[in-house]
Copies of this chain bind each other. A is one copy, B any other.
Amino acid sequence: MSLEGKVLVAQGGGPTAVINQSLAGIVLEARKFPQVSKVYGAEKGVDGIVGENFLDLTQETTHNLEQVALTPSSALLSTRSKPDSKFCHEIFKVLKAHDIRYFFYIGGNDSADTVRIVNEEAEREHYDLRSVHVPKTIDNDLMINDHTPGFGSAARFVAQSFMGLNLDVKSLPGVYIGVVMGRHAGFLTASSAIAQKYPDDGPHLIYLPEREFNIERFLADVKQIYDRYKMCIVAISEGLTDASGTPLTISLRKGKAVEVDAHGNVSLSGSCALGDLLTEAVKERLGISRVRSDTFGYLQRSFLGCVSDVDQHEAREVGERAVQMAIWHDVNGSITIHRTGYYSVDYRLTDLSEVAGRTKLMSDEFINAEGNYVTDAFKYYVRPLLGSGLQSPAQLRAPRVPKRCVTCD
């Protein structure tokens, strides 16, 4: 017989379009078990645990939970805090006081690391607790997982953006540089490739943090494409690094204070320095006048109205599976997603140490030899994650009219 007591769920890290699907999955599944007396939600991740800021989700209506599941971003709010030993001591004081026996933390590799520390503290203090990490990140950089909930919807936003940008730049030609999120892993930036439908469609070039960025090679690449198509559409990851491994965004900010969070991560978003620098370089060095850049920023992880149904479905299931593992199987760990066919998945429980604090990068088979585009293997990998009903642009195919005044174009 499994543990009797309360369930606690929390959300950590940056928002995604489907993170509340996992929340709904956990809450609705946990409410089915008679040994679960209450289901609490901690506000603002681990901060809300030590602050005892709990909502009693046992009393939340099922219908509202289903509405919240369709809403992007963390309904329980979030945190970037990473608990140390002292912090964890505070956590256990609270868990014991409320007789919480199941803890589910939805988040990325930093959140997995938090669950790992919480588990270690629980064992050290001989407190009987089942803690399971539920995966989530638009960066798609969790080890062991084929992919992560949240990624598919963000990738869909990026693909739909580049589909529109293709049309925009064709209409008023020039060079366009779109800067996409992704600190170390280029999966999200790489997903822009799905926007290609017609032979001259962009993105024509894709630069990923897995490869060293060289401004001279970049300019040569842009020139080659521009000479051919009279336009060039580029997708670039915000996490690009130079030959010394220094992120370009940091080397640009020389002499300025750099903002870091509790995990030592430098803030890459909320500034357009990278896009602006590359725009200037193309204008000045290649003499192209119409050069535009957008930094996709927060829109790509929070836009209300762009979601992958596959992503929704899987985010719901990882929540349900986490509860089933903890209560039926009485184990700790991280729920991981594994691809079993094209396209089907299964979920497993993986040891937290294999996921916590580690980053999965794009494998070499997904990046072309020149390091400026993705391979077909990547397109094959990523397409099903974007879900069904993906838009497709159409262009005119009417015949040209013979000229009557001008003899040559």
Contacts and interface: CB of A to CB of B under 8 A. Distances in A.
Interface of A: 11, 14-15, 38, 40-41, 51-61, 64, 67-68, 70-80, 93-94, 97-98, 160-161, 163-165, 167-168, 170-172, 176, 259, 269-273, 275-276, 279, 289, 291-299, 301-306, 391, 393-401, 403-406, 409
Contacts of A14: 172
B391 A305 contact: yes
Given A272-B271, A275-B272, A276-B271, A15 B302 contact: no
Contacts of A80: 172
A241 B93 CA distance: 55
Nearest to A97: B404
Contact of A394 (B38, B64, B289, B303): B64
A-B pairs with lowest CB-CB distance, top 8: A272-B272, A73-B167, A164-B302, A270-B292, A294-B297, A67-B394, A54-B401, A168-B302
A400 B270 contact: no
Given A56-B401, A393-B304, A77 B409 contact: no
A119 to B, nearest CB: 21
A73 B164 contact: yes
Contact of A295 (B56, B163, B165, B272): B272
Given A270-B279, A271-B276, A302-B164, A56 B399 contact: yes
A152 to B, nearest CB: 15
A293 B271 CA distance: 7
Contacts of A305: 160, 305-306, 391
Given A75-B396, A97-B404, A292-B298, 5 more contacts: A11-B171, A52-B401, A56-B399, A299-B299, A305-B305
Contacts of A270: 279, 291-294
A334 to B, nearest CB: 22
A190 to B, nearest CB: 19
A304 B164 contact: yes
B160 A394 contact: no
Copies in the complex: 2
A399 B54 CA distance: 9
Given A51-B406, A97-B405, A305-B160, A64 B396 contact: yes
A52 B73 CA distance: 51
Given A270-B279, A295-B295, A401-B54, A74 B303 contact: no
Contacts of A292: 269-270, 297-298
Contact of A303 (B70, B76, B78, B164): B164
A77 B171 contact: yes
Nearest to A395: B75
A304 B391 contact: yes
Nearest to A94: B405
B301 A400 contact: no
A38 B402 CA distance: 13
B304 A168 contact: no
Contacts of A56: 398-401
Contacts of A291: 270
A160 B54 contact: no
22 contacts: A38-B401, A41-B398, A52-B401, A52-B406, A56-B399, A71-B167, A71-B393, A72-B167, A98-B404, A165-B299, A168-B302, A271-B276, A271-B279, A272-B275, A272-B295, A293-B297, A294-B296, A294-B297, A294-B298, A294-B299, A304-B391, A304-B393
Q: Which among A67, A93, A269, A299 has the highest number of chain B CB atoms within 10 Å?
A: A299
A172 B44 CA distance: 8
A347 B64 CA distance: 43
Nearest to A167: B73
Given A276-B272, A400-B55, A165 B298 contact: yes
A56 B59 CA distance: 64
